[in-house]
Amino acid sequence: MGTEKRGERQPTINDVARVAGVSKKTVSRVINRSPLLKDDTRSKVEQVIADLGYVPNPQARALALRRNFLLGLLHDNPNAQTVLNFQEGVLDAIRDTNFALVVRPVNRHSPDMLDDIRDFLEKQRLYGVFILPPISENEELAALCRELDCAYVRMGSTQLDSPQYLVESNDREIVASAIDHLVEMGHRRIGLIEGPEGFRSAYERREGFLDGIRRHGLEYRAQWHAPGQYTFDSGIDAADRILGEADRPTAIFVSNDEMAAAAMHVARGKGLLVPEDLSIIGFDDSPIASHIWPPLTTVRWPIREMASVAAHKLIDSVDADKLPSRLPSTLIRRSSVAPPRMK
Amino acid sequence: MGTEKRGERQPTINDVARVAGVSKKTVSRVINRSPLLKDDTRSKVEQVIADLGYVPNPQARALALRRNFLLGLLHDNPNAQTVLNFQEGVLDAIRDTNFALVVRPVNRHSPDMLDDIRDFLEKQRLYGVFILPPISENEELAALCRELDCAYVRMGSTQLDSPQYLVESNDREIVASAIDHLVEMGHRRIGLIEGPEGFRSAYERREGFLDGIRRHGLEYRAQWHAPGQYTFDSGIDAADRILGEADRPTAIFVSNDEMAAAAMHVARGKGLLVPEDLSIIGFDDSPIASHIWPPLTTVRWPIREMASVAAHKLIDSVDADKLPSRLPSTLIRRSSVAPPRMK
DNA sequence: TTGTAGGCGTTATCAC
DNA sequence: GTGATAACGCCTACAA
C-alpha cells in the first residue's frame, strides 16, 4: 500500500527507477507487462513500486501514447434508469482497467447539438464514445465521429451501422411475442400506442406489433392505434383517443412504460379495471413499471449487458467482430395482463 | 471551422507558431488570454488557429499544469433521476469550460468500496469529486479524499462538513412545513414512514416530522411510525404495519417517493381511497410521483441547481465561500392530500 | 511585448 | 534483457 503523505509530491517513474537502480524504460516495461524481462528484475521493481506507492500518471501516458483512456457517453436521456444502467454496464467492463467514463448529456432539440458535440469531442479527444438512442439514430452524428477519428458504438433497436459499431436489441421480435402472449390469454382486439415518428425504436416496435397481428390474423382498426411521444402526457392523449371509442380494444401494447402508466390513468378515469377490462403491456421495465398498480407487464431490454459489450467493442478493437451485436430482450410478466372479460 | 481531414495529424501549437511566424509561447499566450499581447499579434494568431482548426491537447496541458480538468461523480445511485439531474446540473456549470465529468457508481454495501475509490482516485488524478448521498455521509471517504489531495464537495441533507466542501438541502425545515400543510387541511393524526437507520437524510426528515408534530401539539403514537429502507418493498411492509391498526392515521408523511408509492399500493389493497381516506406526502419528486395515481404531493429538492453550485465550488475555488451552501426545497402540491373524511 | 530553454511523466527507437 | 536519448504538446521562468 502506498504510504505517501498529503502534500508530498507523487512519486514518478524516475523515482522508482532511481530507487530500484534500473532505467525508467525498465520500469515502464514492468508497468506494461513486457514479456522480455528477467523475473528478478521485475519483482525487484514491483517491490519498489509497492513501497513508494507509485501510480503511473495517466496524463503523461496519454501524451506519450497520443491517445487517452477516456470513453464518452453521449445521450439525450431517453430514460434516467436506462442511462444509469448503461453507465453501470460500462463500468462492469472497464473496472480494473485504466479507462474512465465521461458523460455528456445533450439536447437533441437544440440546433447546436452537433456543434456542441463537435466541440466536446475535439476538446476531450476521447478514446471512443457510446451513443444512446434516440440520438444514436442520427447519421450526421455518426459521420461527425468518423470525421473526428473518434471510435464509436451506437446502441439501437435495429441495425443502424455495421456490426463493429453497433449493439442492438431485438425490439421487433420481442414485441411480436408480446402480442403472442396477449393472444394466448384470449385477446383478439389489441390496440397500439406508438412512439414518435422518426424514432427507429418506435418504428421497430410498431412493426413487431403488426407482425404479431398478422401472424394471428387479428382484426386491425385504425382507431385502436394512436401516436405518442414517449412522454406521460402524450400517453394520456393517446389512451384517451383509443379508450374513448365505444368499441374499444381489450388490450393495448404501449411502446414505453411511461405512456403505459398514462394509459392506466386514463383507464381508471373511465372506470375501466386493469387488467379485467383492459390488459396493458409496456416497454422498458423502468422502475415505474413495478411501482404502479397493477404492476406492469413489460419488456426488459438488457441494457447493462449491452453496455458491457459495447465497451468491449471500443476497447478490445482487435476482436470486436467476435462480440455479439444483438442481445435479446425478455417479456416480464406481471399483473397488467389477464384474459378479457366475457361479454 | 476546422478543415482537417480524417487521418491527418491534429495540428499542434508548433504548427500554429510556425504558420503564424511567432514563437509557441506567443500562441500559448493567445490560448490562455494573456493580457500582454499586441492586438494584431493576437488576431493574427487567432486567424491561424481558426484556419488550421487547432484545438489544444488537454493531456499535454494537464501534464504541464500538473493537474487535469476532470471532475468525478461518486455515487451509490440513490435514485436514477436524481443522479441524472445532478449530472445535468454539473454540465450546466462546466459547459464552455475545458472540464469534463467522469462518473463512478460504487456499491456502498461492498467491503471494497473504499479501496475501489482509492484506486479510482489514484489512477485518474481528478481535479475534484462530487459525492452524492448516502455515501457523502461516509467520513472515511471524505478522509480518503483529503489524504489523496483530491478536492471534494459533499451533497447532503444536513451540515456534514465545512461550507466550502458542502452543498446541502433543508430537509428538516421542508418536512416540518409539509406537516403544516397537512394540519392546515385538517389532519391531526399523522403517521411517518422513515428512511433507514444511519442515513442523515432519514434522520433529518424524521426530525422535521417531529418538529411539525410538536409545533401543532399533535398526538404522537408509536404505531403510526414505521421504519423503511427507501425501497418499494420496505415501504409495503411499513405501510402494512401502520394501516393495519384499527386506529390508523388520516395522513402519512413518507420519507421518499418510492415508499410513498408503496404506501398507496397498500392503502388500495385495504380498500382505502387516497386522498379521501388517507393523505400521503412523499419526498424527492421523482418521476413516479407524477406518474402514479393519484399524483403524489411531494418535496422537490433542487438537485440540478445544487450540482451547479457544487461544480463552481470545485472549479472557482477562489470565491467558493461566497457561494451558498444550502438551497431550499419546495413542496409540490398534487392530488394525494385532501382534508380527512368526517367520521 | 515576445522568445529561448527547460521541464512535466510517460513511451518508442535503437543501440548495446 | 536493458538503457541512453529523443519524442509527445503544452507551460513556466527568465531573458531580451
Residues 269-298 of A with CB under 8 A from B: 287-288, 290-293
Measure the N-to-C terminal CA separation of chain B; round to a whole number of Å: 73
Per the CB < 8 Å rule, is A98 touching B123?
Answer: yes
When pLDDT is averaged across residues A305-325 and rounded to a whole number, the result is: 87
B43 touches strand C (CB under 7 A): no
Measure the N-to-C terminal CA separation of chain A; round to a whole number of Å: 74
Per the CB < 8 Å rule, is B59 touching A57?
Answer: no
What's the confidence (pLDDT) of residue B321?
72
Neighbour tally for B38: CB within 10 Å: 9
Per the CB < 8 Å rule, is B293 touching A265?
Answer: yes
Q: Which H or E run includes A147?
A: helix A139-147
DSSP string, B218-257: ----GGGEE---SSHHHHHHHHHHHHHSSS--SEEEESSH
| Residue A60 near chain B (CB below 8 Å) | yes
**Is pLDDT at A124 greater than 80 in this prediction?**
yes
* Sequence spans of domains, chain B: 13-55, 62-169+303-328, 171-301
Higher pLDDT, B161 or B194: B194
Per the CB < 8 Å rule, is A80 touching B83?
Answer: yes
B171-301 shares the fold of B13-55: no
Residues lining strand D at under 7 Å (Cβ) are: A 21-26, 29, 36-38, 41-42, 60, 63-64, 66; B 9-10, 12-14, 24-25, 28, 31-32, 54, 56-57, 60-61, 63-65
Q: How far apart are CA A249 and CA B337, in angstroms?
A: 34
Q: What proportion of chain A, given as a percentage, has pLDDT over 70?
A: 96
Residues 116-145 of A with CB under 8 A from B: 120, 122-125
Give the homologous superfamily in CATH for domain A171-301. Answer: Response regulator (3.40.50.2300)
- Three-class DSSP category at A250: coil
Residue B187 to chain A, least CA–CA distance (Å): 26
Band (pLDDT 50/70/90 cuts) for residue B202 is very high
Per the CB < 8 Å rule, is B6 touching A55?
Answer: no
Q: Could you report the per-residue pLDDT of A50-71, keeping only the tens digit for each?
A: 999 999 999 999 999 998 999 9
For the domain made up of B62-169+303-328, the CATH class stated in words is: alpha beta
Answering whether pTM is above 0.85, one says: yes
CATH (residue range A13-55): 1.10.260.40
Neighbour tally for B158: CB within 10 Å: 18
- Three-class DSSP category at B62: helix
Maximum pairwise Cα distance, chain A: 90
| Residue B262 near chain A (CB below 8 Å) | yes
Q: Could you report the per-residue pLDDT of B251-300, keeping only the tens digit for each?
A: 999 999 999 999 999 999 999 999 999 999 999 998 889 999 899 999 99
